[in-house]
Amino acid sequence: MGYEEELQSERDYVAGLYARLDGERARVKAAYQSALGGTGETAMERDNEVRARHREMKRLNVADYGLCFGRLDSADGDVSYIGRIGLFDEFDDFEPLLLDWRAPAARPFYTATGANPEGQRRRRQFLTRRRTVAGFTDEVFGKLGEERGDVALLEALNAPRGQGMRDIVATIQFEQDAIIRLDHPGVLVIEGGPGTGKTVVALHRVAYLMYTQRERMERHGVLVVGPNPAFLNHISRVLPSLGESDVVFSTAGSLLPGLLATAEDAPEVAKLKGSRTMVDVLKAAVAARQRVPEEPIPIGIKDIVVNIGADVAEWARQEARDSGLPHNEARAVFREIVTYVLTERAIGRIGKGWMARDDKQAWEDMRSGLVRDLADDDAFIAALDALWPIMTPFELLGSLYSSPEELAAAGADPSLHRAEGDAWTVSDVPLLDELYDLLGKDGSEQAADQAAEAERAAEARYAAEVLDSMVGRFDHMDDEDHLFASDMLEANDLAERFENHDQRTLVERAMADRGWTYRHVVVDEAQELSEMDWRVLMRRCPGRSFTVVGDLAQRRAPAGATSWGQMLDPYVPGRWEYRSLTVNYRTPAEIMAVAARVLAEFAPDVVAPESVRANGVEPWARQLSEDELPAAIEEFTLAEAALEGTSVVIGPHGVPGTVPAAETKGLEYDSVLVVEPGRIMAEGPRGAAELYVALTRATQRLGVLHHEPLPEALSGLAETVRT
């Protein structure tokens, strides 16, 4: 059969797959609508059915783009088509018509080589346009040393970039696939230089885990933490395109519900706040609010006055601390001890001469009355607030920052002082989160919990009453009806109905709940996170299931990681896996050669990733007067706007028309213009790393504009001018 005949055959097969997809969509949509209007089931069952059908609809809807991207022909003559989702023939024992790319049987599509064909004879890759197969390329195995064909890969790499990251499901390479499918339940570190695809590999790993561990993962979801909102927007389409939507995207500054911190501290302050020693500072700040009065505090009870002295407060404070409860919740212990002492002293004086000590009933009756009086006594409540105040994390940390005296008392560095204590920065978020654990729930939260518990109890009582009222009806049923009714009520369906009325999506519930825990967490640009940031993330994932993505050579944060063990060993000592990616898929060899010279200056021991392609376009540089720079930047912007693809102008802080390199981390553009690289390099101790980031954002073209002399590492560009 010739190429055209085979092409038509493949088109027909793929068209059949789309027909099957459309049929599945229609079936699921009908089931979804039926579940929405369903009767006869419990509300909980109906809600679960609606959510399950909705997830299935979304999974099928993402498959329109690139439903099938290739096939495998085994040495035994079997043919398997590989695609974005799995489809089965319901009329033929559910034989697979299309294998999900994550299925074990699909793995040779990504890993088979001429040297190790893994039982395969041929790999065929489709080039598709919408729902049509536009062409295909074949790779026939059998010759020792034959490498995988790169037609589909190179087409994807050379295509103009859009506004978001694309999945690589059709072009996953061998070293990437090995990481995606790695059977390691704990922490996996993926390190790679610019353009190695570490982010997209991590996201495909999440899709793989959600496919292979669906039941375990879907109830709690996945958290993806990235360096900034632009980056999260850039990657946000990847997992939905793979059919996975139970994913929360967050920056380190937005991990607390209701707070979005974007401001950054000065480097030296950020380094202090990021250190694990801040835990001791915060504990000391909390302990400093657990006070003993310098002078006795008089409290009037009935017609007498009793005092809260240092001895009483000291005893109560020690009992409260020994309880192990968070500060706000331990106040109940403190209050109980103080109340006990005051009422004992008051009873002893009030009942002196007429009430026998061994008259326990009279003693307890009087105590109960005095306890009620104290509960409403303004002076007593004020004394408790002074000695053991209820606090929120925001109140305590804001007060700490704004008071040099409180900072000194907590053993904190005086440079943490600021006039506006509540001017929150990104580095404050992990400290606030830590305080949530140290303080526990404040009064309003405790009241809300009590109200919710009371509501649940009332609902359960109502459900029990309904169940009791129905029991009498069973006496009038025949045996068959009696068994049916018993089955319906056996699991307390009515009570469960009340407990499952939250109609929010998993993502909505997780984002609103500071205490939500995830089954898996992805941390991108992980080298930027501080020790305190890692404490937050470990609280979010008690199961310690992480995919950690980063490049130590690109670290810019002063409190960031200098080694992976520094951050991970306190939590998973000796139990985290390390994998590296060494091939640069983004940056052409011409540009990477320039960036590698910068890397060699600040990280001589790090080997730059090897580019998989060259595009024949040399980077250029142009030296201008300072007055000419704005016009040259505008000229570049206008010229790039006329071309297909994306572009960015990166420069030092304060240069109009440019963005800082830090805001482009993890992003990629067809064309990049770097302005005043010497000034970027001079901005702080990690300036060279910033320049390295800037130079490696381009997928096609790189230009440099400068007034000041070029750094030595870029001097080779000085003779080249853009034409």
474-485: pLDDT as tens digits: 455 454 444 334
What is the span of the domain harbouring residue 233?
187-257+513-581
**Domain presence at residue 435:** no
pLDDT value of residue 474: 44
Regarding whether 650 and 597 lie in a shared domain, the answer is yes
pLDDT value of residue 470: 47
As a whole number, mean pLDDT of residues 65-79 equals: 92
Regarding whether 558 and 623 lie in a shared domain, the answer is no
Which one-letter DSSP state was computed for residue 703?
A: E
Domain count, the chain: 4
As a whole number, mean pLDDT of residues 264-268 equals: 94
* CATH of residue 597: 3.40.50.300
Regarding whether 526 and 608 lie in a shared domain, the answer is no
pLDDT value of residue 297: 97
Regarding whether 615 and 635 lie in a shared domain, the answer is yes
**Domain presence at residue 676:** yes
**Domain presence at residue 449:** no
240-262: pLDDT as tens digits: 888 888 899 999 999 999 999 99
Regarding whether 678 and 552 lie in a shared domain, the answer is no
The three-state secondary structure class of 394 is helix
Residue 505 labelled as part of a binding site = no
Between 252 and 491, the higher pLDDT residue: 252
Q: Classify each residue of 577-598 as buried b or exposed e, where b means 16 or more C-beta atoms within 10 Å of its C-beta.
A: eebbbebbbbbbebbbbbbbbb
Q: Is the pLDDT of residue 53 over 90?
A: no
**Domain presence at residue 344:** yes
Domain boundary, last residue among 564, 581, 598: 581
Regarding whether 63 and 39 lie in a shared domain, the answer is yes
pLDDT value of residue 536: 98
Residue 658 labelled as part of a binding site = no
pLDDT band at 469; cut points 50, 70, 90: low
Q: Is the pLDDT of residue 499 over 50?
A: no
pLDDT value of residue 385: 97
In the chain, pLDDT over 90 holds for what percent of residues?
A: 63
Regarding whether 573 and 668 lie in a shared domain, the answer is no
Residue 253 labelled as part of a binding site = no
pLDDT value of residue 666: 85
Q: Is the pLDDT of residue 40 over 60?
A: no
pLDDT value of residue 619: 95
Residue 198 labelled as part of a binding site = yes
As a whole number, mean pLDDT of residues 705-723 equals: 78
Between 134 and 32, the higher pLDDT residue: 134
DSSP letter string over 161-182? P-SSPPP-TTT--HHHHHHHT-
pLDDT value of residue 62: 78
**Domain presence at residue 429:** no
Domain boundary, last residue among 565, 581, 597: 581
Which one-letter DSSP state was computed for residue 574?
A: T
611-641: pLDDT as tens digits: 988 999 999 999 999 999 999 999 999 999 9
pLDDT band at 446; cut points 50, 70, 90: low
Regarding whether 573 and 596 lie in a shared domain, the answer is no
Q: Is the pLDDT of residue 159 over 70?
A: no
**Domain presence at residue 154:** no
Residue type, 666: G
Q: How far apart are CA 635 and CA 51, in angstroms?
A: 51
pLDDT band at 366; cut points 50, 70, 90: confident
Regarding whether 120 and 19 lie in a shared domain, the answer is yes
Q: Is the pLDDT of residue 443 over 50?
A: yes
Residue 227 labelled as part of a binding site = no
Residue 193 labelled as part of a binding site = yes
As a whole number, mean pLDDT of residues 128-153 equals: 73
Domain boundary, last residue among 142, 177, 211: 142
Lowest mean pLDDT among 34-43, 280-289, 526-535, 645-654: 34-43
**Domain presence at residue 444:** no
pLDDT value of residue 241: 84
Residue 145 labelled as part of a binding site = no
- Give the residues across from 88 on adjacent strands: 96
89-139: pLDDT as tens digits: 887 778 999 999 999 999 999 998 888 899 999 999 998 888 999 999 998
Residue 257 labelled as part of a binding site = no
Is the Cβ–Cβ distance between 321 and 345 less than 8 Å? no
3-state DSSP of 523-563: ECCHHHCCHHHHHHHHHHCCCCCEEEEECHHHCCCCCCCCC
Regarding whether 301 and 236 lie in a shared domain, the answer is no
Regarding whether 536 and 622 lie in a shared domain, the answer is no
Regarding whether 84 and 7 lie in a shared domain, the answer is yes
Q: Is the pLDDT of residue 144 over 70?
A: no
Q: How far apart are CA 578 and CA 121, in angstroms?
A: 33
**Domain presence at residue 507:** no
Residues in the chain: 723
The three-state secondary structure class of 691 is helix
HSE, side-chain direction, 13 A CA sphere, residue 714: 31
